[in-house]
Amino acid sequence: MNFWRDKKNKLIKSDLFSTDAENLAKKVAEDGTKTCNKRSQIRKFYDEVLNFSTRVGKDSAEFEKMLPYLKMLNAKAAYAKGRGLISDSFKNFISISLQQINDKDDFDVFVGLFEAFMGYYRLYRPSE
């Protein structure tokens, strides 16, 4: 899943927050079990991303300092996957997304994508 239609001109892929986010949420929900991909577990990752967003604000220099810590979400996803708390599909979403984040603009798109994903995830996994 690619974030950009045209990165140079900052044109986000038109269906990223709609079709792509919905398809991803549906896949992750389908891969879930009683203990895997629980909304509360997925929400922990989303809350961490929101925390980064708040800490960084609009400051690109602060983003550069925080980027290594953001990329550490890969390790946290691997740990959660190893404990059976998340599926491969959610781990891959985190991994593929983090690979695309190189600057503040990329991160802002990821935050929007994760927000859209969470909305759809609530639809496809309504209860714990």
Which tens digit of pLDDT belongs to each residue from 18-39? 999 999 999 999 999 999 999 9
**pLDDT more than 70, % of the chain:** 99
Q: How many residues does the chain have?
A: 128
Global confidence as pTM: 0.94
**Closest residue by Cα to residue 111 from 61, 64, 51:** 51
> Which among 101, 109, 126, 124 is positioned nearest to 28, based on CA atoms?
124
- Residue 127's pLDDT is 77
Q: Which of 82, 81, 56 is nearest to 69 (CA)?
A: 56
Residue 42, pLDDT above cutoff 80: yes
